């Protein structure tokens, strides 16, 4: 399986250390926890980033990085039927961050499949860089990515 990460060019060398999530947290991770957010497609990466960006940030240099996950690397999945009814809301319910923290602290798997709040029926994959299996993932070379300016006509 291949997952994707979209980030600014200047962060490419540290894109898989979890520094961003440690600094600001995320839907599935509280501040102070190092995890790496990836998506099942480049298109989902774009949408997940767009909901947090301002138009002026679109012009900075970005890269997309593929990550190949071997079939024998186990992962976990968050079942949507057990999530709180408002799990897709913004800001996210704190239970989601608690769930992510629990997953990291249990250290049973390096990958957590979570539903996207931005695109229903699609998934993001959270990676735990501190898990021993993380070393088995093949991180590909960054490729230049350019946002199509027509994306900003909505606003």
Residue 69: which pLDDT band, with cuts at 50, 70 and 90?
Answer: very high
Are 112 and 99 contacting, i.e. CB atoms less than 8 angstroms apart? no
Pick the CATH number of 2-154 from 3.90.175, 3.20.20, 3.40.1710, 3.40.50: 3.90.175
Residue 148: which pLDDT band, with cuts at 50, 70 and 90?
Answer: confident
For the residues 50-78, what does the mean pLDDT come to? 88
Choose among 46, 44, 34, 64: nearest CA to 134: 34
Q: Is the dihedral of CA 101, 30, 90, 61 positive or negative?
A: negative
Residue 154: which pLDDT band, with cuts at 50, 70 and 90?
Answer: low
Quick one: pLDDT at residue 56? 66
Residue that has been written with the tokens 């767009």 in this structure: 50
Give per-residue pLDDT as tens, 8-62. 999 999 999 999 999 999 999 999 999 999 999 999 999 999 888 766 666 679 9
Threshold 0.85, pTM exceeds: yes
Helix (H), strand (E) at residue 145: strand 143-145
Residue ranges of the domains in the chain? 2-154
């Amino acid at each position: 399986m291949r997952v994707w990460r979209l980030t600014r060019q200047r962060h490419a060398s540290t894109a898989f250390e979890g520094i961003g999530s440690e600094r600001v947290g995320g839907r599935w991770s509280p501040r102070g926890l190092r995890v790496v957010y990836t998506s099942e497609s480049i298109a989902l990466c774009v949408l997940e980033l767009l909901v947090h960006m301002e138009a002026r940030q679109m012009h900075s240099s970005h890269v997309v990085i593929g990550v190949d996950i071997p079939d024998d690397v186990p992962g976990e999945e968050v079942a949507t039927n057990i999530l709180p009814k408002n799990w897709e809301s913004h800001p996210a319910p704190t239970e989601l961050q608690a769930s992510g923290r629990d997953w990291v602290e249990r250290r049973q798997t390096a990958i957590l499949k979570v539903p996207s709040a931005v695109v229903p029926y699609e998934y993001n994959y959270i990676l735990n860089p501190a898990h021993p299996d993380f070393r088995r993932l093949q991180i590909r070379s960054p490729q230049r990515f350019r946002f199509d300016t027509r994306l900003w006509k909505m606003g």
